[in-house]
Amino acid sequence: MKEVNGSSDNISVSRGDSSPWPAVETAHIAFLLDARDDFEAGLLRDWVESRKPDDDSRPPYSFIKLPKSGADNLLATLPEQDDGVWMQPLRIAWLPTSSAGSSRSLQDLFHGRITEPGRIRRRTIARFSPDRLAYVVGDGAYRHELRERQADAPVDDDNLPRFVVNQALIALERAERLVRGARYKVPRILRSDVFANPDFQNLIKNVALQGDRSVHAVTDQAARYLREMAATQTPFTLDMMNAIYRAACQSHHDAKINVDDTQLERVAETMADRPVVFLISHKSMLDTMALSLVLFDANLPLPLTFGGINLNKPGLGAFARRSGIIFLRRSFQDNVIYKATFRRYIDYLIEKRFSLLWALEGTRSRTGKLLPPRFGLFSYVVESILRTRLHDVTFIPVSVAYDQITEVEDYSIEQRGHTKKPEGITWPLRFLRRGRSRGQIHLRFGEGLTIRELVEPAELEAGIDDQRKRTLVPTLAFEVAVRMNAATPITATAIITLILLAGGNRAQSLAEIRALARAGAALIRRRDLEIVGRSNFRDEDAVRATLDA
DSSP run (H or E) holding 272: helix 261-273
Examine the pLDDT at 394 and tell me if it is beyond 80. Answer: yes
Count, residues in the chain: 549
Q: What is the DSSP-derived secondary structure letter of residue 13?
A: B
Sign of CA dihedral 194, 277, 332, 321: negative
Examine the pLDDT at 105 and tell me if it is beyond 70. Answer: no
Greater confidence (462 vs 420) lies with 462
Average pLDDT over residues 193-199: 83
DSSP run (H or E) holding 345: helix 336-351
**How far apart, in Å, are the Cα atoms of 312 and each of 11, 51, 319, 356?**
38, 47, 9, 19
Greater confidence (283 vs 412) lies with 283
Average pLDDT over residues 541-545: 88
Average pLDDT over residues 444-453: 94
Residue 115, pLDDT score: 61
Examine the pLDDT at 393 and tell me if it is beyond 90. Answer: yes
Those residues with Cβ within 8 angstroms of residue 153's Cβ, 6 or more apart along the chain or in another chain: 163
Whether the CB-CB separation of 370 and 361 falls below 8 Å is answered with: yes
The strand ranges marked E within 169-260 are 258-259
Examine the pLDDT at 39 and tell me if it is beyond 60. Answer: yes
Examine the pLDDT at 232 and tell me if it is beyond 90. Answer: no
- pTM for the model stands at 0.78
Whether the CB-CB separation of 159 and 71 falls below 8 Å is answered with: yes
Residue 197, pLDDT score: 85
Q: How far apart (Å, rounded) are the C-alpha atoms in residues 235 and 139?
A: 21
Examine the pLDDT at 24 and tell me if it is beyond 90. Answer: no
Sign of CA dihedral 509, 511, 515, 517: positive
89, exposed or middle or buried, with CB in 10 Å at 0-12, 13-18, 19+? buried
Examine the pLDDT at 108 and tell me if it is beyond 60. Answer: no
Closest CA to 286 of 330, 250, 255, 310: 250
Type of residue numbered 515: A
